[in-house]
Amino acid sequence: MSTLLKNALIIDAESPYHNQKKDILIIDGVIEKIADSIETKENYNIIELENLHVSCGWFDSSVSFGEPGFEERETIENGLQVAAKSGFTGVAVNGNTNPVVDSKSDIEYLKNKANFSATKLYPIGALTQKSEGKELAELYDMQQSGAVAFGDYNLPVENDNLLKIALLYAQNFDGLVLSFPKNNSIAGEGIANEGINSTKLGLKGIPALAEHIQIARDLFLLEYTGGKLHIPTISTAKSVELIKEAKKKGLQVTCSVTAHHLALTDDELHGFDSNFKTNPPLRTTEDTKALIKAVKNRVIDIITSDHNPIDIENKKVEFSEAKDGVIGLESLFGAVNSVLNLDDYITCITTKPKQIFGIENYSIKEGKKADITLFNPDTTYTFTSKNILSTSKNSPFINKNLKGIVYGVIANNQIILK
């Protein structure tokens, strides 16, 4: 298959063609030629799109699909199609399924389900058996089968010694440990950020302190044990400061932030719309500003959708009863591109997360495998339910004005366009 991209502006700091408009010829999944103009031939599949930009394929470090066990929320097949049409050539998939992904056979099941998709699936194995926080899961065996990291999705490791042992043990095979930043004793039964809005609305609050205490504990343990620790989906200004200081000490700690924590605040809660019920909760404007600054300063390493489909029976209910979680693959680019510049976004969705999760990044160069995202960063539009490709519809960005559209991907010798 021969594909010719016409007049594509290349956004790839590692490419000699960075910020240059070029034609790109791809033959059998490999970039054959990059030039100002390439002559078209009859057998070429020509792709010429308005204001076409291309970058290395995007990678999302935290995605949940329902399969196995919750297929009504999202199957792996549909989820990977959604990811491809949203610009992602790779996704790290959490193990919050039924059964929980905590063994070698579970990892192999996920990988086999994704064998022929354009978007590659990278499993995250559970850190503890059944994600119950009592005994470590089969970390080494899971890594040998393809797990890229280990964490109990949206569940904190409450046992201090267990996290200590995990950090020590994972060093034997250079494993990456994830620790969700929430202290349940402090958070209690809270369902929204503790502050002015939760008080006005009569919602039980989750203090930011619940996140800070957990992160501080994790960093003390990391300093003691060594190893690699990733703290997913931080949400407060103080969390940024704690991680910034740890990095200055030389600790191998990384962190991510969600698109909705960069673009939305707890002011959204006034309609009691459960699509805004997230974990961690939406925070204040001051927190959002600090998170955006931390992305620009590279304190925050990764931007993620934290895509978590929830079926209507568990989401379209009273706010206090609804399950936490939002979908975000389709809206991630438009939301983040509205608050960040393009280079910062691309860094935090390509090179940095791939480096942290041990995944190869294919730069846009001649002779390299074609693993490319196609997009237009300048188009503005209102995101509606018609833009949702996921089976579940729990998006917090419905009726929000977003900036930037994704055309699709070229990956695994396939072309997936919307």
Q: Which residue has 């043990």 as its token pair?
A: 169
What DSSP letter does each residue of 293-351 carry, written as one string? Answer: HHHHTTSS-EEE--B----HHHHSS-TTTSPP-B--TTTHHHHHTTTS-HHHHHHHHTH
Determine if the peptide bond prior to 99 is cis (ω within 30°): yes
Please indicate whether residue 301 is annotated as part of the active site. Answer: no
Q: Is the dihedral of CA 292, 50, 55, 231 positive or negative?
A: positive
- End-to-end alpha-carbon separation of the chain, Å? 19
3 state DSSP class of 287: helix
* CA distance readout (Å), 402 to 333, 336, 362, 373, 396: 8, 8, 28, 18, 12
- Per the DSSP assignment, residues forming a β-bridge with 46 are 4
Q: Which residue has 């196609």 as its token pair?
A: 374
**Of 102, 287, 301, 306, which residue is the catalytic one?**
306
Q: Which residues contact 88 (CB under 8 A, 6 or more apart)?
A: 57, 58, 59, 60, 119, 329, 373, 409
Please state, in angstroms and rounded to a whole number, the distance separating the CA atoms of residues 59 and 81. Answer: 14
β-bridge pairing 192-193 and 205-206? parallel
Q: Which residues contact 220 (CB under 8 A, 6 or more apart)?
A: none
The catalytic residues are 306
